Amino acid sequence: MRLPVIRGIIDRRILANYRVDPDCMASALPPPFRPQLFGGHAIGGICLIRLKRIRPKLLPFPWGIGSENAAHRIAVEWESNGQTMSGVYIPRRDTDSMLNAIAGGRIFPGVHHHATFNVLENGEHYSVTMTADDGNAAVHVSGTVAPTISDSSVFNSIKSASDFFERGALGYSDTNTYGRFDGLELKCENWHVESLNVDKIHSSYFEDESRFPHGSVKFDCALLMRNVAHQWHGRPDLCCGRAVGA
């Protein structure tokens, strides 16, 4: 079943980003993906997104469903029909919506795991904790809106980081079939990011030393998006081992 165009509001989206040793990242990626580098580093991270008023685009009413969601994402490149494509590979999605968990990988692109979210927001301070029901993923990010990006970031400005992540709108998620990835493209009507000065961060995925040995991963920066009108567009599956147009 092909997903219709879905529209809604990104009420809050935190992109917490790590810079990773390219060789370690390459080893963690399935074919056909390879790391997309920035400043000599692979870039991975966590997207913590609260959606509201989600509904098919063709439905005229202004309301819809809402949910808290988390996605581990890695900036990648791959070859398709002789062209180098870029986007993000998403090894795991988590959600507090039972509907998303049931429909993920069937109606919605990508397998969605059910999780519990604890969210605290106080003015310009945000704290999001996610714990998956299956015990295989846990995330915590807390921080405060800041006027500039961290001096230690590989990105030299908020605009530089914003441009990089805006280009990563096309995502491919793991499915229950090895080598097949569900495609989904995010189109924002009013793309705008702010810097988030992070005081605490934890990711069971990026802190797994069996995947990323000690010293191969370092937190880089975090960005915040608020009140962004958007659409989700389903894209053709990507299957490794044969040429597929993205």
| pLDDT tens for each residue of 115-150 | 999 999 999 999 999 999 999 999 999 999 999 999
Average pLDDT over residues 146-171: 96
For the beta carbon of residue 69, count every other beta carbon within 10 angstroms: 20
Instruction: Report which of 144, 236, 189 is spatially closest to residue 10, judged by C-alpha positions.
Output: 189
Positive/negative CA dihedral, 221, 172, 202, 95: positive
**Per-residue pLDDT, 246:** 36
* Coil, strand or helix at 126: strand
- What tokens appear for 124 in the block? 């310009």
DSSP string, 22-76: HHHHHHHSPTT-EEPEETTEEEEEEEEEEEEEEEETT---S--EEEEEEEEEEEE
Report the chain's mean pLDDT, rounded to a whole number: 90
Instruction: Report which of 220, 152, 230, 238 is spatially closest to residue 192, judged by C-alpha positions.
Output: 230
pLDDT of 242 strictly over 60: no
| Terminal Cα-to-Cα distance of the chain (whole angstroms) | 18
On the CB side of 227, how many CA atoms lie within 13 Å of its CA? 0
- Measured CA to CA, the distance from residue 28 to residue 73 in angstroms comes to 12
**Per-residue pLDDT, 105:** 58
Looking at per-residue pLDDT, the higher value among 81 and 156 belongs to: 156
- What tokens appear for 78 in the block? 């791959």
Q: Is 152 exposed, middle or buried (0-12, 13-18, 19+ CB in 10 A)?
A: exposed
- What tokens appear for 106 in the block? 């069937």
**Per-residue pLDDT, 55:** 73
Looking at per-residue pLDDT, the higher value among 54 and 214 belongs to: 214
pLDDT of 62 strictly over 90: no
Residue in the block written with tokens 């917490």? 16
Average pLDDT over residues 28-54: 95
pLDDT of 81 strictly over 60: yes
